[in-house]
Amino acid sequence: MNKKTDLGLATHCIHAGDSLDERGGIFTPLYNHSTFGFPDTQSVLDVVEGRVEGSLYTRYGLNPTIRSVEKKLAAIEGGEAAWVFSSGMAAESATFLAHCKSGDHIICIGDVYGGTYDLLDVNLPNLGISTTFILGNEINKLSDSIKSNTRIVFFETPTNPNMEVLDIEGIAAVAKKYGALTVVDSTFATPVNQSPLALGADLVIHSTTKYLGGHGDLTGGVVIGPTELLTPIWTWRKNLGQMMAPEVAYLLARSLRTLVVRVNAHNVSAQILAERLVEHPRINKVNYPGLPDFIGHNIAKHQMKGFGGMISFVIDGNAQETADMVDRLKLFSIAPSLGGVESLVTQPITTTHYNLTPEERAKRGIVDSMVRISVGLEDVADLWADLEQALS
């Protein structure tokens, strides 16, 4: 694989981690075995003691299908190594547990996925790990919020549902100065549009359930970065039993082969729809990093190669009128997920941000009439026609 590291992203997506197998298969097959056999005791010890990279037991991640997709993901994200997990939340929780102990502190910037917020706000405090939350427009408070026990600065970019763009390079520089790790959830951007490690982040997390899987048929997560920072995470994954199933790893590798063409197509369609939505008389506001007037556009232009497939917009109407508009859509399925070939729509107050108090929502600009769409790979003319009829 090393000889391939100077290749382009699409080439990595197709070839990294794969090699001809002994029967001539041109990519890694599915090894769904839970354990692997050895010819003699010395061979077992060679693997157990780490002298030989071999297969042993699937929950440990020592499975050829899992190791293959991990090498592909590491190459795609430009990291030294990658660990896959049974979900994005599993990847996040193992990362926090491995790098924080009782008495440690985390800073979470901007809006984050509801499960992440819950983990930081409810679960980790029970283990003595506290989190300070600062809004995305309060970056100037970052230095003052960092304490001597701050281990991790965590954020997503772009964020959900406002598509707020946070400056990875700037935040990572501050965190580094104080000896904290920068961990970025890059799920919305994908490795096609953004490379947090190259911008100074220490670890990158993806929910592979979204764009990396891309077809709404798998649940998984990954953390990518230097081996030194991944090693402590490995034992947490192993002992919490958070391993991705080999069948899922195989499906994920299949999906990653088309990642670049899929994400580039999402980018193109979303840009077209965002520009048309801005012009629509019933729309008050469109949040999309690719719009020149969008507040995060300049940072996005600097740190992103494409602006992604996620758009949110605010319609001129109340909560019920917004729900009615969502209900009139025919091609967009009402669902809280994102990143697949099928277009999805959600009204954040009914799903992803249902549990926030009205004050919390107001602070974040999440209004009743906000709609979030995940632009799929259908013909963009059909998607626009559907949005137009629903808005009229």
Ligand X SMILES: *Cc1c(COP(=O)(O)O)cnc(C)c1O
CB 369 within 8 A of CB 321: yes
Query: For residue 233, which of 222, 218, 246 has the smallest C-alpha distance?
Result: 222
Residues of this chain that bind ligand X (CB under 6 A):
87-89, 113, 115-116, 156, 160, 185, 187-188, 207, 209-210, 219, 221
User: From the CB of 92, what's the least distance to ligand X, in Å?
Assistant: 7
Catalytic-residue membership of 361: no
Please pick, among 18, 104, 167, 185, the residue that the annotation labels catalytic. 185
Catalytic-residue membership of 210: yes
CA 70 centroid distance within chain: 15
Please pick, among 59, 147, 254, 285, the residue that the annotation labels catalytic. 59
Cβ distance to ligand X smaller for residue 88 or 214: 88
Tokens encoding 200: 């100074």
Helices 319-328 & 380-391, crossing angle to 10 degrees? 140
Nearest residue to the partner ligand X, using Cβ: 88
**Residue length of the chain:** 392
User: From the CB of 160, what's the least distance to ligand X, in Å?
Assistant: 6
Please pick, among 18, 72, 113, 262, the residue that the annotation labels catalytic. 113
Catalytic-residue membership of 59: yes
User: From the CB of 280, what's the least distance to ligand X, in Å?
Assistant: 26
Cβ distance to ligand X smaller for residue 165 or 325: 165
User: From the CB of 351, what's the least distance to ligand X, in Å?
Assistant: 12
How many CB atoms sit inside 10 A of residue 151's CB? Answer: 20
SS3 for 304-330 is ECCCCCEEEEEECCCHHHHHHHHHHCC
| Rounded distance between C-alpha atoms, residue 100 and residue 105, angstroms | 7
User: From the CB of 91, what's the least distance to ligand X, in Å?
Assistant: 8
Please pick, among 210, 237, 364, 372, the residue that the annotation labels catalytic. 210
What is the C-alpha radius of gyration for the chain, rounded to an integer number of angstroms?
A: 21
Place of tokens 């192993």: 238
User: From the CB of 304, what's the least distance to ligand X, in Å?
Assistant: 15
Residues 6+ apart with CB under 8 A from 49: none
| Rounded distance between C-alpha atoms, residue 71 and residue 180, angstroms | 26
Cβ distance to ligand X smaller for residue 54 or 365: 365
Catalytic-residue membership of 185: yes
| Rounded distance between C-alpha atoms, residue 25 and residue 298, angstroms | 46
Cβ distance to ligand X smaller for residue 58 or 187: 187
Cβ distance to ligand X smaller for residue 74 or 248: 248
**CA quadruple 207, 213, 215, 216: dihedral positive or negative?**
negative
Cβ distance to ligand X smaller for residue 163 or 199: 163
Q: Give catalytic residues, as residue numbers.
A: 59, 113, 185, 210
